[in-house]
Homo-oligomer: A and B are copies of this chain.
């Protein structure tokens, strides 16, 4: 129940262990086509270029930047946590010029600051921001930020690693040009793959590049020859790299499960379980660190009470209850715990385990907490 990896569903683990077949086998091509359709469903997009990058979410991020940023491109980068800072680093490596908009860790990106930056830099080509900051639990208003981008003729790159499947995300309706996620977090799949989706405008920029993409492995012009042609309409697939066949079985299964539940039902479940956890935490005397309208339901940053050794609490939870919760990072190090309720981990039994274990450990450390009442409050909230 940390910031990830979240629990992987047994159905996904079973899919992972299916016999490996060749990546050029007709049966594998058929599965790839289904997988792309399922990803479009999860991302709420019709983008033909929607596919999993054969590497972790960080490589999904790099795929977006290395393809869309040309040397000299000015990119507005919003930083309100670890992953915004990493975006800035990606812009630099791609030869771009970052224009940084900073917000406090634990808060959403402020659209006003973004608008000011766009007015001050009318030559900016792109805006990049993190929808759901895994390092803080804050959710930014992706729809408003994308509108601002388009009003200033910029493309958007959006990090949806932690939002996908847990929080409303509307790639087409909000006009997001390029988005990347991870196979983990709210998809309940194993880590290692990075779903990405590029809209027509973004793809146009990639195809119109003056200089080749700096990465061979992540060059969409090459990757496309493999992933796009597999529908049989666009001709023969060209070999690019050997994809992680079994990991793709697992992602396929996780997305089938998401479609069975329904994406809106999944968003609702994450929200309901967040409210139940919050009710219990309040009774334990614990406060959420992110202001209510900016909170992510799937990642709860909890303020560490004064006088408590936060690392000792986490160690006790792991050793006594086999329960992992996350530490704070950067500006929030030592100040918060991060409790994940992501994907299959977002369940009633986990909430009771977490509240019971946390209440018990805190009581042992001298922080008076009525654990029983906290469990009751959580049960009432979810009823």
Contact = CB atoms under 8 A, between A and B. Distances in A.
Interface string A178-200: 00001010000011100000000
A17 B25 contact: no
Contacts of A20: 5, 7-8, 13, 190-191
Interface in A1-60: 2, 4-5, 7-8, 13-14, 16-23, 25, 54-59
Interface stretch (A201-209, A213-221, A264-272, A374-382): A213-221
Contacts of A232: none
Contacts of A14: 17
Contacts of A90: 216
Interface residues of A, number: 56
A25 B242 contact: no
A55 B219 CA distance: 15
Contacts of A13: 17-20, 246
Q: For A20, A184, A212, which residue has the most chain B Cβ atoms within 10 angstroms? A: A20
A235 to B, nearest CB: 16
A348 interface: no
A190 B245 contact: yes
Nearest to A26: B318
A238 to B, nearest CB: 11
A57 B214 contact: no
A191 B244 contact: yes
A225 to B, nearest CB: 14
A247 interface: yes
Contacts of A89: 216
The 7 residue pairs across chains A and B that have the minimum distance between CB atoms: A192-B244, A55-B55, A17-B17, A58-B241, A8-B20, A191-B242, A13-B17
